[in-house]
Amino acid sequence: MNKVLITSQGRTATLSLNQGLDKIGGVCSFHERRSTDVPFLFYSQQDQYRTITQDYLKEEDAFASTQDQAHFVAVNPYFRFVGQQLRDNFGWQVAHLVRHPKTYLESVFQRPIFTRDDKGLHQLPQDNDNFSTQWNNATRFEKLCWYYAKTLSYFAQTDIQWFQYEVVVAHPSGLNNLLTAVGLPEVPADFELPRTNVGPSIKTKLIRTLRNQQIPGPLDWGELTTREQETYASFFEPLASYFKYDL
């Protein structure tokens, strides 16, 4: 069986990608299969949880081996820091999806991450991270810049192949570049990824309103402070060049 992990920094249409891959003959695909995948993102970046992380990956590998298709795919941004382990220890094919920093920040800014209503476990700076001393005084925009840059920096340090989200979703030829790299069947020229509404639903917005939860509005680049603009540039200029994006 060909076992594949497609991970990302988040906000890269992984749900649509998963639904599209699951329609390909011989492929079974899962998107964020377990509810415990969410805290796993936090555990996977902490050395003291190494045993928990390894056991979790063993369970995922064992589940993949029970499927009766030729190709098993896990499309899971929460596995972003374990791609190397799955590849080296369990023989998975791995690929990363990346996204332009500007559109990524515009997308993630309207999610609850790092707001007062955020109940999730997320990537956080460790003591040896220079940004840890600035964390308490950083704005939400600056924290999201760090969050993006930390993930992209990790991707850049591995030799796992990465693909631009914009190219993958634009045309089947871009998607096929990714599929070929991880040993999946190519799709025909008229193949289209399903469209999914990944924004907050009306029901979700209503529940947040009733609970007096803040619903983040759109990011206004014109309202950024000088320090925020400098933070954006300092984090992204070297990364944008590496991942072939123009700022």
Cα separation of 132 and 155, whole Å?
Answer: 20
104: amino acid identity, one letter: Y
Residue 138 contacts residue 146 (beta carbons within 8 Å)? yes
Of 197 and 205, the structure prediction assigns the larger pLDDT to: 197
The model's confidence at residue 215, banded by pLDDT at 50, 70 and 90, is low
- SS3 percent helix, strand, coil of the chain, rounded to 5, is 50, 10, 40
Of 24 and 119, the structure prediction assigns the larger pLDDT to: 24
Q: Does residue 60 surpass a pLDDT of 70?
A: yes
Cα separation of 244 and 247, whole Å?
Answer: 10
Tens of pLDDT along 20-56?
999 999 999 999 999 999 999 999 988 899 999 999 9
The whole model's pTM is what?
0.90
Cα separation of 235 and 149, whole Å?
Answer: 6
H or E stretch covering 63: helix 50-65
